[in-house]
Amino acid sequence: MSSTNKTIQEKTTELTKLVAWFDSDEFTLEQAIDNFKAAEKLAAEIEQDLLSLKNEIQIVKQKFDSEN
Amino acid sequence: MEKLQINPIFSVSDFIAVINQTLEYAYPTVEVEGEVASFKVNQGKYVFFDIKDQGGSVGCFMSVWQLRVPIEDGMKVVVSAVPKLTQWGKFSLTVKTVRPSGEGAIKKSFELLKAKLDAEGLFSTERKRILPVIPKHVAVISSIQAAGYADFIKILDDRWGGLRVDVGHVQVQGTDAPDQIIRALNYFNGRDDLPEVIVIIRGGGSADDLAAFNDEQLVRAIAASRVPTLVGVGHEVDISLSDLAADVSASTPSNAAQILVPDKSEIIRAVRVQIGSLLPRILRLIDQQKQAISDAINGAFESIELAVEQRMLQISNLKSVLVQLDPNTVLNRGYALIRGAQTVGSIIEVETNKVILKAEVKNVVNK
């Protein structure tokens, strides 16, 4: 996970919002470059997170072959 | 000399006890296959039936809660039981488990239980809960030695990361399997840190191998789970009652992993497509703005040109008027300009378009 401590889902949501901004009425060319750079950085973080995260698999100690 | 043989004399109770001890020593548990006859349930608690074949018949007794699959007369079953002589001297089998035997009986038992649980609403779509899109903590109930478990973990690792997976190792076939899976379900449902999903998986097998997942108590436990359940048992064609009771059913363990988590490579590809589409979008918007500016400038030029043309036309009209007002224009039409007093005897100046002459006024007549 990158330093921002956001989950992949949060980052993906943020990226979707940033991309949607380019089609919104709030779009200005002056802001576009900054938002583009932010989206590019976020995309790189998401990709890095996805590729680096490993699942933590743990076999529970509890035995189920008899009651208790 | 004849050897004297002394036979022990038992009381009836002792005799029954000795026989039962002998039976217990020789046959602690027996498995007997036969056809069910005279099946009945007394007081909603006790189950009685005979198990028979062409050569004989044996009475069986068990409690209702031990009966995990529905049976009826004519069904072929295998009972696991303790042989016993009752205090009334009747031989019977105290049944611990009973399971249908043979494809026909398994299918019949499956259909009976399915109809019963369906009527109770256990398979109703209204009961189904939605699984989280991207869970962070899941529990898996399976045998860690099973190929289906290995398939599930491989696909899970390929598709997603950062997931906490607690695995409850249980038997996934055999008579002990349903109880073990139920205990594991209860364990995960009773944890303080509840998992977001409980996944129950087992790879393919024969109908007998998969019979554990048609156990009534297990199906009820799945339906009653606090935590949403995902069941992936057998191959694509296999449908167990556990599948029907689960919130979500997967066709195989691999498919369960596919349902549980998104594919990170698809997300990476989608993210790249999103970013890749932004720059052309910005350039297109810049082009649109450039075009708008260019259109505005052209419009301004056209307005200026129109205004200049209008002024030029006005000037042209004024010039025409001025030309008409020019005295030379009048003289050119043959008129003459007279200067001087218009009285008899005075000298006047007469100007035509060609000459200027002096003349004396001889007569003046008023018009």
Where in chain A are the domains?
A: 1-68
Domain at B244, CATH number: 3.40.50.261
- pLDDT value for B318: 93
Mean pLDDT value across residues B165-187: 94
Q: Is the confidence at residue A2, as pLDDT, over 60? A: no
In this complex, which of A23, A55, A58 lies closest to B156 when CB atoms are compared? A55
Residue B192 binned pLDDT confidence (cut-offs 50, 70, 90): very high
Statement: residue B7 has pLDDT above 90 = no
B259 and B163 housed in the same domain:
yes
Q: Tell me which of B69-73, B117-121, B152-156, B196-200 is least confident.
A: B69-73
Give the pLDDT of residue B210.
83
Query: Residue A1 has what pLDDT?
Result: 47
pLDDT of A3 above 70:
no
Considering CB atoms only, which of B133, B170, B274 is closest to A64? Answer: B170
- Does B227 reside within a domain? yes
On the question of pLDDT at A28 being above 90, the answer is: no
- Please state, rounded to an integer, the average pLDDT across all residues of chain A: 85
Give the CATH number, domain containing residue B63. 2.40.50.140
Same domain for B351 and B253, yes or no, is: no
Q: Between A1, A36, A59, which is nearest B282 by CB?
A: A36
Determine the average pLDDT of the residues in B105-134: 91
Last residue of a domain, one of B264, B297, B312: B264
pLDDT tens per residue across span B280-296: 888 888 898 899 999 99
Closest Cα partner for B178 from B255, B111, B240, B236?
A: B240
Domain membership of residue B173 as a residue range: 130-264
Weakest mean pLDDT among B80-84, B126-130, B272-276:
B272-276
Residues B90, B165, single domain; the answer is: no
- B275 lies in some domain: no
ipTM of model: 0.79
Contact B203, B254 (CB under 8 A): no
CA distances in angstroms from B43 to B50, B63, B88, listed in the order given: 18, 11, 21
Quick check: B133 contacting A, CB < 8 Å? yes
Which residue of chain B is at minimal alpha-carbon distance from A21? B278
pLDDT grade for B80, boundaries at 50, 70 and 90: very high
Q: Model confidence over B302-334: pLDDT tens digits?
A: 999 999 999 999 999 999 888 888 888 888 889
Give the CA dihedral A12, A15, A16, A21, nearest 10 degrees.
170
Flag whether pLDDT at A46 surpasses 60: yes
> Which residues are paired to B99 by β-bridges?
B78
Q: What is the pLDDT of residue B122?
A: 94
pLDDT for position B245? 96
What residues in A contact B272, CB-CB < 8 Å? 43, 47
Give the pLDDT confidence score for residue B2 in this predicted structure: 58
What local confidence, expressed as pLDDT, does residue B261 receive? 94
Question: Of B264, B295, B316, at which residue does a domain stop?
Answer: B264
d(CA B272, CA A22): 16
Q: In the prediction, which pLDDT does B101 show?
A: 85
* CA gap B183, A62 in Å, rounded: 10
Instruction: Please check whether residue B352 lies inside any domain of the structure.
Output: yes
The reported pLDDT for the residue numbered B13 is: 93
Mean pLDDT of chain B, nearest integer: 91
B156 CB near a chain A CB, below 8 Å?
yes
Find residues 238-277 of chain B whose CB sits inside 8 Å of chain A: 264, 267-268, 271-272, 274-275, 277
- Residue B229 β-bridge partners: B198
B172 and B254, same domain (yes or no)? yes
Identify which of A54-63, B9-18, B58-67, B222-231 has the greatest average pLDDT. B222-231
Last residue of a domain, one of B216, B236, B264: B264
E-only strand ranges, B74-122? 76-85, 91-100
For the stretch B234-275, pLDDT in tens is: 776 668 899 999 999 999 999 999 999 999 998 899 888 888
B223 and B166 belong to one structural domain: yes
Contact call for residues B242 and B213 (beta carbons, < 8 A)? yes
pLDDT score, position A68: 57
Instruction: Indicate whether B107 belongs to any domain.
Output: no
Check residue A4 and give its pLDDT: 60
- Pairs of residues, one from chain A and one from chain B, whose beta carbons lie less than 8 Å apart: 104
Share of chain B above pLDDT 90, in %: 66
Task: State whether B145 and B192 are in the same domain.
Answer: yes
Domains in chain B: how many in total?
Answer: 3
Residue with tokens 């689960």: B246
Per-residue pLDDT band at A67 (split at 50, 70, 90) = low
* pLDDT at residue B57 greater than cutoff 90: yes
**Contact call for A62 and B162, based on CB within 8 A:** no
Q: Residue A44: is its pLDDT beyond 50?
A: yes
Residue B292 burial (CB < 10 Å; 0-12/13-18/19+)?
Answer: exposed
